[in-house]
A and B are shown apart, each in its own frame.
Chain A
């Protein structure tokens, strides 16, 4: 056995080290030191995140006979996720220190880190077994995290819904994989890709298998019609978990999805899955928007908004070019910041007052101008209003998609663009509630915890700067440009 193979997995190993440190701290440190656990975790993770930015990681590496791959792009997407997780961790400090969670927070951090590890595997996996394990590692512990809020029945309900549907979806997913395996005799990505090129590509089984595979990943991305769990779970889960679920998990899966679709099934693009994805994108954006229109619970509302955002993210996949990929990374990054700003405000308010309904936000600006401002920026960014980052990410993802060039893509982008109208409507509803509506019993003025503020500052800073400071996107474009993933697929 050649254990040096593990050396390619620097980020995973680093993450597991953090995991172990947290685990050990949680298990063995005296009670007194326990109160520092959130801070310590954040510190560890921050150090890890910082370390991951080391340029020495930006190399292409392959190990375990091509089962695992790392490249500059992959390192970067992991870094992006790390940043998001760091913000989540910072934002959740207050919650983790709350009376209810104090005895579970160690587990919270551990599970969170394991799911992140699972996502790492999903991203890096070049073998479906590893991918499945990553997928499960990224979703099963999450079910436990969803159930963290023991006081609330919703939390349990959400956990059941999540785990049941997750397993169902992975069953379907694996069914599809079994078909693929039956057709190709391998689970290595490149092996499958080679095999389906060699055979007569279009057989019914492969298409059905592909549909199952897409549905399985689509479940995690909450693409319509595989999205139905999303709203309930987001609503029921503790807000910190929801924010994690909505951004990190989605971001990781989106990239993994891109990899699968391109590296494995790339040759089927124009005949098969372009159209599958086409339909799914339209459905996802539209239905997500339609549902979001009628929500009054903030978390549920953000859930549906995130569904429709997933549809936009998928445009980066259907683009099938490096611009699309860079835009997808960028979109994920921006989405992390925007959504975390929104969730940061939601959780700050929830932690203070327990209020979650949109009506409760009426007149918020009069009492808590800063929070409202952060929320407004988040909403604008999500809606794609310049000069906030969301505008740039949307614009670039459309640019990437249109680079594909077919008229059908133009139509798709047009539909997506028209869908920004209802989405703008519901984002503005929140703004309206805070700024325009009056309330007799507004949420009174309060000072949110330092950690929450810090998290919000980071998110807001990201929202404002990520777009205007062009180097981020330029960097991503430069990073993806040499990739030959897409060569010859169109």
Chain B
């Protein structure tokens, strides 16, 4: 039995996720869309906090909400005039979108629900300390993430180079 607080917390977060995701993809104003995305990301961060992964929550807020959304917002401002509004969707397109979304939902939902093991309750877990995270992030033992860490640095470098070369005017 969960504490009421966590249930309420959960409800808020779950609701936020669902509502803001839906809004993010249905609103006709692109800037609002970005805003709703931000809210969703915050709600996600909330989940991370609830899961006791504070570090991850922080990263989520910092990188995702703080970095990506800002990037998106900038690009929106760069590429659209204020007051730009998407015209209404053709119902056919919406139907197709809905079909795809519900198909995904149905299939994956059914698949998930078919696993009884997934109705597990939150087990107890010690706090994930920064030490732990740091050790494992740069560790080479079982679960050590040194190699991915190095690899992703190359990836990020490449993306930076790529971004620069693409965005360069000439």
* B is a partner of A: yes
| Chain A interface residues (CB < 8 Å from chain B) | 1-2, 5, 16, 63-68, 103-104, 107, 110-111, 114-115, 117-118, 121, 127, 129-130, 133-134, 136-137, 140-141, 143-145, 147-148, 150, 159, 175, 179, 182-183, 203-205, 207-209
Quick check: A129 and B145 within 8 Å, CB to CB?
A: yes
| Interface 0/1 of B145-170, CB less than 8 Å to A | 11110011011011101111110101
A140 touches B111 (CB 8 A): no
Give the 6 A-B CB pairs with smallest separation, nearest first.
A144-B162, A114-B158, A107-B165, A137-B155, A205-B111, A141-B158
B interface residues, Cβ below 8 angstroms from A: 107-108, 110-112, 114-115, 118, 138-148, 151-152, 154-155, 157-159, 161-166, 168, 170
Q: Nearest chain A CB to B132's CB is how many angstroms away?
A: 15
Decide if A141 touches B159 in the complex (CB within 8 Å): yes
Q: List 27 interface pairs A-B (beta carbons < 8 Å), by A numbering.
A: A5-B146, A16-B154, A64-B147, A65-B143, A65-B144, A66-B142, A67-B147, A107-B162, A111-B158, A111-B162, A114-B155, A115-B158, A129-B148, A130-B147, A133-B148, A137-B155, A141-B155, A141-B158, A141-B159, A141-B161, A141-B162, A144-B165, A147-B166, A182-B115, A182-B118, A204-B115, A205-B112
A-B pair number, CB within 8 angstroms: 106
- A163 CB, min distance to chain B CBs, angstroms: 10
> Which residue from chain B places its CB closest to the CB of A120 in the assembled complex?
B151
Nearest B residue to A140 via CB reads B159
Q: Which residues of A contact B147 (CB under 8 A)?
A: 5, 63-64, 67-68, 130
The CA-CA distance from A111 to B157 in the complex, in Å, is 9
- The CA of A66 and the CA of B115, in the complex, are separated in Å by 29
Residues of A within 8 A of B145 (CB): 129
Assuming A114-B155, A114-B158, what are 20 further A-B pairs, CB within 8 angstroms?
Answer: A2-B140, A65-B142, A65-B143, A67-B144, A107-B162, A107-B164, A111-B162, A114-B157, A117-B154, A130-B148, A134-B151, A136-B155, A140-B159, A141-B158, A144-B166, A147-B166, A179-B111, A183-B115, A208-B111, A209-B111
Q: Which single residue of chain A is at the shortest CB-CB distance from B145?
A: A129
Among B143, B147, B159, the most chain A Cβ lie within 10 Å of the Cβ of: B147
CA distance in complex: A203, B118 (Å): 13
Known: A5-B140, A114-B155. A204 touches B146 (CB 8 A): no
Residues of chain A within 8 A (CB-CB) of B154 are 16, 114, 117, 137
Q: Which of A65, A148, A182 has the most CB of B within 10 A?
A: A65
CB distance from A179 to the nearest CB of B (A): 7
| Contact, CB under 8 Å: B170 / A150 | yes
Whole-angstrom distance between the alpha carbons of A104 and B157 in the complex?
A: 16
Instruction: Tell me, in angstroms, the Cα distance from A124 to B59 when the chains sit together.
Output: 29
List the B residue with the shortest CB-CB distance to A107.
B165
Chain B residue numbers with a CB within 8 Å of A134 are 151
Residue on B with the closest CB to A209? B111
Chain A residues with CB under 8 Å of B112's CB are 179, 205
